Amino acid sequence: MNVLTDPMWSERASPVSFAGPRRFVAPAVEFDKLPPIDVVLISHNHYDHLDRPTVRALARRMPAIEWLAPLGLARMLQRWGATRVRELDWWQDTALETPEGELYVGSAPAQHFSARGLGDRGRTLWCSWVVGEGNARTLFAGDTAYHPEFPSIGDRYGPFELLMLPIGAYEPRWFMRTVHMNPPEALRAYAELSGRATPAPILLPIHWGTFRLTDESMREPPEWTARLWREAGYDPAKLWLLQHGETRSLAAHTDAA
C-alpha cells in the first residue's frame, strides 16, 4: 500500500512558474518512476504542500487514488481531476478500502493557517494525519507550530511507531513561531506524543532542505535536531535524518529492536 503526503513535483512553490521559491534539490523520486499510489494525504493548501500540476498529473495517471484533505479543499481537488476525495475535520477518522487492504486515517489538530491568495486566508482547514494499519500507527504532522494538543493526539491515537515532525522554516521567530516549529519545539512535541510508550517511536524530521523559505541556513535544522537528540540521551538509531531519496525499512528496524 503506497501513501503520498503533500506531493509536490514542481520546480517552484508558487502560483506562477517564473517566480517564487525554487527547489534547493530535485524531487527524490522521478514522477514517472512512482509505483501505483493508493492514498494521497493533503495537510493544507500552501503551494509547497498542495501543487496543482502534481495533483493533475497524479489524478490523470492514477484515477483510483483516494484523496484525503482537511475541510474546504475537496472542490479544488475535484476541479484538478481528483475523483475520490474525502474531507475530514479535526478528530474525525475514516477507514479506506484499497486493493491492498484497509487503512485507518485520522485527522488531528495542527497550528498553522491556509491561503493561496490575498483574500482567502483561513477559508480552508489545515491538519495533521494519523495513518494506521493493524496496531501500527504513524503521524504525519504536515506544517505546524508547537501547540498544546500534542499530548491529546498521543493519548487518542498512540502509541506511534513513527513520528514525522517538521523542523524547518522557523526564522525569524517573532514571525514564524505561530506557524512552524523549530528543533527544540519539535523535540518537545516528540516527547509529548510519545508519552510513556515502549518502545519509543522513531522520529523522522520533515519540512527542511527542499525549498528555501525562511532565514535559517538549509543545514541548520537537521544539525540542530541531531545535537538536541544527543543531548537528550535518545537512542541514535531512532532519529531518521534521511537524505533526499533515502529509504528506510520500519519493519527491519522493528525486527532488529
pLDDT in tens, 142-176: 999 999 999 999 999 999 999 999 999 999 999 99
HSE (side-chain half, CA atoms, 13 Å) at 90: 15
Question: Where residue 135 falls among pLDDT bands split at 50, 70, 90?
Answer: confident
Question: Where residue 253 falls among pLDDT bands split at 50, 70, 90?
Answer: low
pLDDT in tens, 40-91: 999 999 999 999 999 999 999 999 999 999 999 999 999 999 999 999 999 9
Helix axes 150-157, 183-194, angle to 10 degrees: 40
Provide the percentage of residues in the chain whose pLDDT is more than 70: 98
Edge to edge, the sheet with strand 93-98 lists: 93-98, 101-108, 128-133, 136-140, 162-166, 202-206
Examine the pLDDT at 254 and tell me if it is beyond 70.
Answer: no
Cα 27 to Cα 220: distance, rounded to the nearest angstrom: 21
* Average pLDDT along the chain: 94
CB contact at 8 A, 121 and 53: no
CB contact at 8 A, 169 and 186: no
What are residue 241's phi and psi, to 5 degrees? -90, 85
pLDDT (0 to 100) of residue 197: 80
Question: Where residue 257 falls among pLDDT bands split at 50, 70, 90?
Answer: very low
231: number of Cβ within 10 Å: 9
CB contact at 8 A, 180 and 220: no
Q: Which amino acid is at 84?
A: R
Cα 93 to Cα 192: distance, rounded to the nearest angstrom: 21
Q: Can you list the positions of beta strands (E) in the chain?
A: 3-5, 39-41, 66-70, 84-88, 93-98, 101-108, 128-133, 136-140, 162-166, 202-206
DSSP letter, residue 179? T
What cell numbers appear for 196 in the block?
Answer: 510513556
Length of the chain: 257
- Cell 500507527 belongs to residue: 137
Cα 169 to Cα 179: distance, rounded to the nearest angstrom: 9
